[in-house]
Every structure is written in structure tokens, then in C-alpha cells.
Copies of this chain bind each other. A is one copy, B any other.
Amino acid sequence: MAELNETIHQPVRLRIMAALVALDAGSEVDFTYLRGLLDVTDGNLGAHLRKLEEAGYIAVNKTFVERKPRTYISATGAGRQVFTEHVAALESILKGK
């Protein structure tokens, strides 16, 4: 039976990974953009990003732009791999297999 990845299956994290994996490899999104896209609070998004970062599925790059702190997020190779596997598992399950 197809296995679902519990870290990725959670709705907010599934959306984060889908948004990141849709980009070209290595492309980053900004924290504020992601927060607006997902319509979640800073704290909520931060907690889900930490979980994905701890699993090695995303890279978080904190930097300064014009002396203001900015956070950029991208999917790692491992993150892209597990997301692809998760989608395949979901498709298999949704067909009742």
C-alpha cells in the first residue's frame, strides 16, 4: 500500500511544498509572499517552515535587504523527491488502490 509522508501531508505544509516545487530548482520565495499565498499567520507559517527545514525538505535563507531582515525559502533536492513520491502515493490512494 502506498505510504503517505506525514510531514508533508499536513495541509499547510502540503501547500508550502507544492508552491515551492512548482518553481524551478533553486528558486526561492520570500516569507511574506508565502504568508499571503497561504493566508496564515507569521507564527503558524514559521512553525510549519521549521518542521520542513528540520526534515531537510526546504532551505531557509535569512538575510538583509536594505537593512531589513528578509527570509527566502526554497525546496531542497530531498524535498522535491519526497514531494514527488507523496503525490504518487496520493494518486494511488485516491484511485482506491
Residues of chain A having any CB pair with chain B under 8 Å: 1, 4, 6, 9, 11, 14-15, 18-19, 21-22, 37-39, 87, 90, 93-96
Partner of A94, one of B4, B38, B87, B93: B87
When all copies of this chain in the complex are counted, the total is 2
Least CB distance from A94 to B in Å reads 6
Which residues of the partner chain B approach A14 to less than 8 Å between Cβ atoms? 4, 93-94
**Which residue of chain B has its CB nearest to the CB of A1?**
B39
Question: Bound state CA distance, A45 and B31, in angstroms?
Answer: 39
Question: Bound state CA distance, A96 and B39, in angstroms?
Answer: 15
Partner of A93, one of B1, B15, B93: B15
